[in-house]
Structures are given as C-alpha cells and as structure tokens.
Amino acid sequence: MSRGQSYLISLFRNRTRQSPNTQLRSLTLEPRDSESNPNEQKCAGGGTYTEMAKTVSTIMRERQRWQQTLVSDFPSFNFADPLFFRELLKSQNNVLFSLWFFRWLCSNYDYTPDPVSLNLLFGALLDAKAVKAAKSFLDTTGFNPEPTLLELYVKFLSEDGLVEEAVDVYNVLKETGISPTVVTCNAVLLGCLKARKLNLFWELHKGMMESEVDLERIRCLVLIRCRD
C-alpha cells in the first residue's frame, strides 16, 4: 500500500466523529447502469443470484426479525458470497437494508468484504446523499474508496456543511497525485463560502490558480468579494 493510501485510510479513521451506530433514515437509490450483472450465474443449491437476492430482499422488507431466521431458511446458501451481495445491493431499493445486511454479514460470518462490494455500497450511500452514514461506513471499514467516489464524497460533505472534513479529503486527493475536477474544486470553495470560512477559501483558491475556471468559480469569487 502506498504512503498516500495509508494516509488516506488513517485520516478517515481519525477524522470521522460519527458513531458506527448512527441512525439512518429511509433512503432510496437507483441502480447504476455501469455495474456488471451476474444474474445468469448459478449459485450453490440452484437458482440464480438475482432470484436469491430478490427473495432475500422481500424477506428483509416483510419480516421484522429476519436476522434470526435467514440462515435456517437457507442452510446451504453462502450469504458471504461477494457476487450475491452485489446482486442484493442492486435488488434493494433502500440502501438502509443493504447496510443492515452488510453489518449482519460482518457480525455473523468470517466475512472479509472485497473492494468492489465496499465501493458499491459506499457509492450507494453517496447516491442516496447519506453523508453521515458514508462517514460512519468509512470509519468502520477503513477501506480506500475509488477516486471518483471520493470526489463525490467531497462534494456532498461540502453541501452538508462538513467543510473541514471536505477540505481534509480534498487535500488527501491532491497529496495522492489526483487532480480534483473543477466541479469538486468549486464545491469545496462554495462550502467554505457558505460556512463563512473566508481565510480557508482564499488558501484553497490559491492552490487552484492553475486549474480550470468556469462560471461557478467566478460566481464564488464575486460572492466572497461582496462579503469581504
């Protein structure tokens, strides 16, 4: 693991202040078109992953204590199969259920989440704009998300008023050699502006002098000049 990646994981663990048991609201998400679909692959015991995922999704919605009966209902099925978890995530229309299932897996199986599954779940939390839940998820797993997800994370942190956390992640992206997009740069600047952290705004803007400037950047500069 590179120095930048190690620093990234360490930063998330130290910066996240939310409890892993943060209460979550009901959140919906849409499936991503780019995700691979193993729905025709057969799982152990017959049937497909898609069929099993739909069955389990229905049980989770309709049965209050599904955690206590799911294994006995399907004793020969391997719920820790990464292909099944990814299909379950796409079958659910509520990321809260997927997060519950993930925590159930971690507490009941010798389960080591794979990077693909972690990125999918983290991305689903971001799609649902569950920023605090995403922070808690990073803290409890300590994994290194894909750069595109981190940029989206910076944007939502900024919009949610968590400016210091957004700036931390933004700086880590730059330290690991990633050049944030103009959308990400503008989002963190606007977050500083809304939080009235003007010194931080100018410090960040100084480091963005060579980056692309668009109408949103100009709007931020006009607004801060007015406030100054």
pLDDT above 50: residue 188: yes
CA neighbor of 53 nearest in space, from 92, 13, 25, 81: 92
pLDDT of 206 strictly over 60? yes
Tokens of 37: 């679909």
Evaluate whether residue 20 is within a structural domain.
no
pLDDT band for position 44 (cuts 50, 70, 90): low
**Can you tell me the distance from the alpha carbon of 115 to that of 143, in angstroms, rounded to the nearest whole number?**
8
Mean pLDDT score, 21-36: 40
In this structure, of 52-56, 117-121, 194-198, the range with the lowest mean pLDDT score is 194-198
When mean pLDDT is compared across 22-26, 171-175, 204-208, the lowest value belongs to 22-26
**Is 153 found in the same domain as 195?**
yes
Look at residue 56 and tell me if it is in a domain: yes
Rounded CA-CA distance 8/113 in Å is 19
Task: Indicate the residue among 129, 154, 189 that finishes a domain.
Answer: 129
45 pLDDT band, cuts 50/70/90, is low
Structural domain contains residue 139: no
| pLDDT attached to residue 155 | 94
- Residue 173 counted as domain residue: yes
Highest mean pLDDT among 10-19, 89-98, 147-156, 219-228 belongs to 147-156
Owning domain of residue 162:
1-15+144-228
Is the same domain home to 121 and 159? no
**Residue 177 belongs to a domain:** yes
**Residues 56, 51, 143, CA angle at the centre, nearest 5°?**
60
Same domain, 29 and 104: yes
pLDDT in tens, 57-82: 999 999 989 999 999 999 989 999 99
**Residue 89 confidence class, pLDDT cut points 50, 70, 90:** very high
* pLDDT, mean of residues 33-60: 71
Q: What pTM was estimated for this model as a whole?
A: 0.74
**196-228 in b/e burial notation, b at 16+ Cβ within 10 A?**
ebeebbeebbeebeebeeeeebeebeeebeeee
Q: Which of 129, 154, 170 is the last residue of a domain?
A: 129
Higher confidence at residue 42 or residue 216? 216
- Helix, strand, coil shares of the chain, percent, nearest 5, are 65, 0, 35
pLDDT tens by residue, 133-186: 999 999 888 889 999 999 999 999 999 999 999 999 999 898 888 888 888 988
CA distances from 102 to 3, 120, 141, 172, 220 (A): 29, 12, 11, 27, 40
Compute the average pLDDT of residues 8-19: 47
Q: Around 69, how many Cα atoms within 13 Å sit in the side-chain half-sphere?
A: 9
**In the predicted model, what is the mean pLDDT of the chain?**
80
Contact of 136 with 16, CB cutoff 8 Å: yes
Residue 26 CB neighbour total at 10 angstroms: 9
